[in-house]
Each structure stands twice: as C-alpha cells, then as structure tokens.
Amino acid sequence: MPKEHSNFRIFYQTDSFLFAEKPPGIPVHATKDSKRENFSDLLQIQLSLPFLRTVNRLDLDTSGLVFFCKDPEKNKEADLILKSSVKIYLCIVVGILPEDNFTEICYLKDGNKKVRKVFSGGDKAVTEFVVLKRNPKENFSVLLAKLHTGRRHQIRFHLSEKGYPIVGDRVYGVSEKSSLGDTRRDLQTKRKTIPGSQRSLLHALGVSFQEKEGLEQRILCPPPEDFRKFLDGVSIDPSLFSRFQIK
C-alpha cells in the first residue's frame, strides 16, 4: 500500500459500520481505470475486511468522513442511518457574505462533468449555510454547510450560483458573475485578491445520527492542513451541529 494513502483514520466503528477520513485527491470508489487506486479498496486492505460497501460518496477533491457498511446483511440499515443523519461540511469561499445564515434551494440536473439548474425535470437541492468567519483583507469567508438533500455537487453549485465559489474549485469557480465584480475588467483587476488552493476547499466535517439504542452519536473529523491558514479564530467542536436553524 502506498505510504501517502496508508493508515487512514477511523473515527467510528462497530461490528457493522464505520466512518473513516478520506484524503483529498483520491476517488472514493473504483473508476473506469482499473489501475487507479481508490479509497474504499485501500481501506478494505488496511482493515483486512472481507466486505466493505461505500454508503456515501465524496468528490475527488473533497476530504472528510465517508460512511461504510461492513456487513452485507446491514445494507438497508446503513442506508437508513445515512438518510436520517445530519451531515455538515466546512467550506472556504471567495468573497465576503453579508448574511450570517442563509438557505439555497433549486432543482438540479446531472451533466457530464457538472450539474446545472433547471426549472422542470430536476431533483430538489436544499443546503443551509452558516458563516463562521469573514476576512475582508484576504477576501474569503469560512462557512458551514448542512445538507438537507444529497444531490451531486450540491454545495459547490449553490455557492457558485450565489456568487461565492469555493476556493480552488476548478469546475464551479470564479466567473464573471462572482462576488468579485460584474464585468470581465473588474474580475481581472481583482483577481490577485482571490485566495488560492491546490484543490477545492470542501471538507466533510461532521455527522450526527441515532444509534440503534436511541443514543445520538456525533462524529467530527478535523480539517486537514490546507484548511488551517483560513481557520484562525474558528473553533471546531460539537457545538457546530447546533448552529443551524432548520431541523
């Protein structure tokens, strides 16, 4: 197993389920390229498991918690846990948001490499956001996102559509309609103030769910090193689950 993708961190584990941390830059599951490494297979090798099913998925660049089922007889239970769980993400975005809390709602339809907004025939996408920090000098904000639906690229699309794309997002990133300016000239003038990153700064930070015994389990996965320069003064603790308004 390659050194850069060994010893994945496990944040929760029972006989049937586990949550592990996916690093950025590796696909969650097998791709068309049979020689390409993927997180699920490497984790299964690391833990010497005969069965490991990926219950949720993250984009290639996105880091953080991924839910797995270890018992094929528990697949339906795993799906129910995921459906009823609270999933929160940490985002670093370009620009300074005026609101402290806001919710984005639209209908999305899958395309080849990206999704698009439609007015009929799409799937409803709802994301709630909370602003944790604003840095006008360096032109970025730190946000929490709570998924109320689970559409592909949902968080990335909603933030880009609002005009505050995720730092490093090469698909839904800075465009003429971003918060940096209304014209191409404005954009070029202010481009030097756009914070940079080698990848999209989106991290699956936390999951909260009910265990079989009825007890609430809250799992937090601290963000990796490339987030830290943006997080001065931001506390990562279980109270973040209570920052949202929509239940």
**Domain of residue 55, CATH code:** 3.30.2350.10
User: Which residues fall within 8 angstroms of residue 245, CB to CB, at 6 or more apart?
Assistant: 101, 128
**How many domains would you assign to the chain?**
2
pLDDT at 178: 47
Q: Do 79 and 90 belong to one domain? A: no
For the ranges 114-128, 160-174, 183-197, the lowest mean pLDDT is seen at 183-197
Q: Do 117 and 216 belong to one domain? A: yes
How many whole angstroms separate alpha carbon 39 and alpha carbon 122?
30
pTM value is: 0.90
Q: Is 20 exposed, middle or buried (0-12, 13-18, 19+ CB in 10 A)?
A: buried
What is the pLDDT of the chain when averaged over all its residues?
89
* 96 within a domain of the structure (yes/no): yes
Q: Do 90 and 63 belong to one domain? A: no
In tens, the pLDDT along 132-189 reads 999 999 999 999 999 999 999 999 999 999 999 999 999 998 754 444 444 333 443 3
Q: Do 76 and 110 belong to one domain? A: no
Report whether pLDDT(42) > 50: yes
For the ranges 30-44, 76-90, 154-168, the lowest mean pLDDT is seen at 30-44
pLDDT at 175: 53
Report whether pLDDT(116) > 70: yes
Q: Do 201 and 103 belong to one domain? A: yes
User: Which residues fall within 8 angstroms of residue 199, CB to CB, at 6 or more apart?
Assistant: 24, 25, 61, 168, 226
* 235 within a domain of the structure (yes/no): no
Domain extent for 11: 1-84
Q: Do 111 and 219 belong to one domain? A: yes
Q: Helix-strand-coil percent breakdown of the chain, rounded to 5?
A: 20, 30, 45
Report whether pLDDT(193) > 80: no
Q: Do 9 and 119 belong to one domain? A: no
Q: Do 176 and 111 belong to one domain? A: yes
pLDDT at 2: 42
* 242 within a domain of the structure (yes/no): no
How many whole angstroms separate alpha carbon 136 and alpha carbon 195?
11
Chosen domain end from 58, 84, 110: 84
pLDDT at 213: 73
Closest by CA to 67, choosing from 50, 49, 85, 90, is 85
pLDDT at 183: 37
Chosen domain end from 28, 51, 84: 84
* 153 within a domain of the structure (yes/no): yes
% of the chain residues with pLDDT over 90: 77
Q: Do 118 and 133 belong to one domain? A: yes
pLDDT at 3: 43
* 247 within a domain of the structure (yes/no): no
pLDDT at 6: 63
* Amino acid at position 77, single letter: E
Report whether pLDDT(113) > 80: yes
pLDDT at 74: 95
Q: Do 91 and 160 belong to one domain? A: yes
Calculate mean pLDDT across residues 193-218. Answer: 88
